């Protein structure tokens, strides 16, 4: 889903009431209103899904995080979810096995960053691309890599250059000497200016994404 460019302070204060006190504190530390709104919207999005699926009242939904910060719903070991946000997009993926998702806005970058975060294979693949393809490919790899570390739930505790992702004829593979790599990947097109990747233990990706409007979200959580 996409978030509005701007909302009134009164509506912002209303939205805050849907999320935990802890998260409210985090949100208030953000100086940029867009970042704050992303975090609130992502939280309400997953709350609306939990509310609909398990018929739990929003006020009784209490997410916890693992030691690396990955949120989960205690008591529902077969419910896995992950969220991501970048600029105007807020995305979420759910499954009955571990899952990770990453969305990134495509902006010009200094490719030196790839030397630091990408494996040799990834770096070589990146530089085998033409100048015009390179930026898009960088973001494809970046989102795939992030979706993997988010699915594995260990965040940056998995060094980004400790595994390699390759996209060959549209097939996405992962290889690592040090990590478990029994994960599957899929890229989705949501917006020409963004890249979106999902990584999951299950190889059961839907072909289509469900788009929700901002208003729909609140209708659903208040049902």
Ligand X SMILES: CC(C)(COP(=O)(O)OP(=O)(O)OC[C@H]1O[C@@H](n2cnc3c(N)ncnc32)[C@H](O)[C@@H]1OP(=O)(O)O)[C@@H](O)C(=O)NCCC(=O)NCCS
Residues that bind ligand X (CB under 6 A): 39, 42, 68-71, 82-85, 100, 102, 117, 142, 145-146, 149-150, 153, 155-156, 160
Min CB(118)–ligand X separation in Å: 7
Min CB(119)–ligand X separation in Å: 10
Min CB(150)–ligand X separation in Å: 4
CB-neighbour burial class of residue 195 (10 A; exposed 0-12, middle 13-18, buried 19+): buried
Q: For ligand X, give the closer residue by CB, 110 or 223.
A: 110
* Cα-to-chain-centroid distance, residue 191: 15
From 38, 113, 204, 31, select the one nearest 15 (Cα to Cα). 38
* Cα-to-chain-centroid distance, residue 193: 16
Q: For ligand X, give the closer residue by CB, 53 or 223.
A: 53
Two tokens at 162? 């400790």
Q: For ligand X, give the closer residue by CB, 35 or 223.
A: 35
From 118, 85, 122, select the one nearest 104 (Cα to Cα). 85
Min CB(170)–ligand X separation in Å: 21
The DSSP bridge partners found for residue 85 are 90
Q: For ligand X, give the closer residue by CB, 21 or 223.
A: 21
């Amino acid at each position: 889903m996409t978030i509005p460019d701007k909302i009134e302070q009164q509506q912002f204060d209303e939205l805050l009431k849907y999320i935990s006190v802890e998260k409210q504190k985090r949100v208030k530390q953000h100086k940029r209103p867009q970042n704050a709104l992303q975090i609130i919207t992502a939280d309400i999005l997953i709350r609306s899904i939990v509310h609909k699926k398990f018929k739990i009242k929003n006020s009784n939904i209490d997410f916890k995080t693992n030691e690396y910060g990955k949120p989960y719903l205690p008591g529902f070991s077969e419910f896995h979810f992950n969220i991501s946000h970048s600029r105007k997009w807020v995305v979420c993926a759910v499954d009955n096995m571990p899952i990770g998702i990453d969305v990134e806005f495509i902006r010009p970058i200094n490719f030196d960053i790839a030397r630091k975060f990408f494996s040799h294979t990834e770096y070589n693949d990146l530089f085998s691309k033409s100048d015009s393809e390179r930026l898009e490919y960088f973001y494809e790899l970046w989102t795939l890599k992030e979706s993997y570390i988010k699915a594995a739930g260990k965040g940056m505790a998995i060094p980004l250059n400790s595994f390699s992702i390759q996209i060959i004829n549209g097939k996405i593979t992962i290889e690592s000497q040090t990590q478990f790599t029994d994960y599957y990947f899929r890229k989705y097109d949501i917006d020409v200016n963004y890249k979106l990747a999902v990584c999951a233990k299950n190889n059961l990706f839907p072909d289509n994404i469900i788009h929700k409007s901002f208003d729909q979200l609140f209708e659903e959580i208040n049902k």
